[in-house]
Structure 1
């Protein structure tokens, strides 16, 4: 199966680093014209240099997903200059938190504003373009925390569970226009934000024990799923959330299979 996204225009939010950067690279390698959105100008300049070195077509736009005007300006520019928007990857997000009794309103609000409302704003902006085309793919970053939340992660988990619900609603609303909408739920993928692979050895072992495949995920594991969901091969998949967590808690005690019989 050869996935070819040549001629497609893909917008990726939070594309400056980490998982978002690898998603953007993977779409570029598959032939898509990638429009990178991020809040850091320096990261966008770095993307522009990388794209230039590799001869990949694309654009970079400074954009904060909490700001409707910035979003609509970026989307309008892409539509006017490239003529279409085939794929939207809502990757931008944060993961701050606290226990509920200690929760600051600003922390709660920021998680919802970026992780959930930011997804809504981006979707709202691209929908008219995709409806005009009669086709589109929207891919929303949820999290394994939307499946099983963590202590101290109320704000993050609530925002990501909201993304799953929003995804289902959008799939229903946009189905008549041949626009599919799906969410993806990464598990433990080491990034600069979570530092999983930098934690003390015993803590890493406890975390890995929750995974059926018992290895850290990689940004490319996520990107591989997304290029498939964005392709013609996934035209009959919509309104769902795909778990890309290495089988986290697929069984009650996944570590048992990785230890010698006693």
Structure 2
């Protein structure tokens, strides 16, 4: 793999994915809406002897996305892999949510993923490409810490991935999604405090929360030759969240008379 682009790479999952792909030998286009975030993330990679360049654009702006990804492809002779990790969330119940809040989350999370996918597909390397979109367990559950707009955006990614994988497969472009579960980090930067992580972990079969690096490793696998026959899938990276739906894990064993 020679060239990759990662959206939302200024922080969190996107930054971890960019680092993993750079460590794997790719030149990474570190794309973020924040110029400071893109610059800082790219500089961290370059300081470690890795190959990266910052790309700044709003993923909801079709012309800006095309300019950023198309420019990278022109300089590098095509794009081999992409991970669409740009995302936003806000916390509203349905009665609290106005149309602007709904549109913002749908525009970034779903439309932004589509525009990024479309541009990568147009500029894929002659041998093909891998595109992975970061979804969420909210696609199959509820967006407990956000709202219906977030759950809808992530469920929409499932349909986007399935259809894109079908349509683009003849060009050897594979399209998949990963679904992170309860995370150690907050969207946009910062860590969830230790007490909250521990409380969440108690309800997960693996008894730990998901780290950005966990998601990055799965994205790397999906982009690698090891996954050359994998397309159109949604792969949870959730420490078992969807097996228990967040129910009190300990109670299961107590109900069966087993020590936990």
Common fold: TM-score over 0.5: yes
The corresponding residue for 1:28 is: 22
Deviation of the 1:192 alpha carbon: 3.4
CA offsets 1:20-71 (integer angstroms, 9 cap, x no match): 1111001111111110101111122212322321221222111110111110
Output the TM-score relative to the length of structure 1: 0.90
- TM-score normalised by the chain length of structure 2: 0.90
Match of 2:148 in 1: 154
Q: How far off is 1:254 after superposition?
A: 2.9
Pick one of 8, 25, 33 that aligns with 1:14. 8
User: Which residue is 1:242 aligned to?
Assistant: 235
Q: Alignment length, in residue pairs? A: 253
Distance in 2 separating the partners of 1:67 and 1:100 = 27
CA–CA distance in structure 2, aligned partners of residues 90 and 220 of structure 1: 15
CA RMSD of aligned residues (A): 2.1
CA contact (8 A) 1:11 1:85 kept: yes
- Report the alpha carbon displacement of residue 12 of structure 1 after superposing the two structures with TM: 0.1
Give 1:1-262 correspondences, 5 Å limit: 5=1, 8-130=2-124, 133-151=126-144, 153-193=147-187, 197-198=192-193, 201=195, 204=197, 206-251=199-244, 253-256=248-251, 261=259
Structure 2: gaps (5+ residues): none
Note the alpha carbon deviations across 1:59-93, whole angstroms, 9 max, x for none: 21111101111101111211211111011100000
Distance 1:192 1:17 in 2: 10
Q: Distance in 1 between matches of 2:49 and 2:169?
A: 35
Distance 2:114 2:50 in 1: 29
Contact 2:8 2:86 in 1 (8 A): yes
Quick one: distance in 2 between partners of 1:59 and 1:133? Answer: 22
Shift of 1:134: 3.9
CA distance 1:100–1:176, change in 2 (3 Å): same
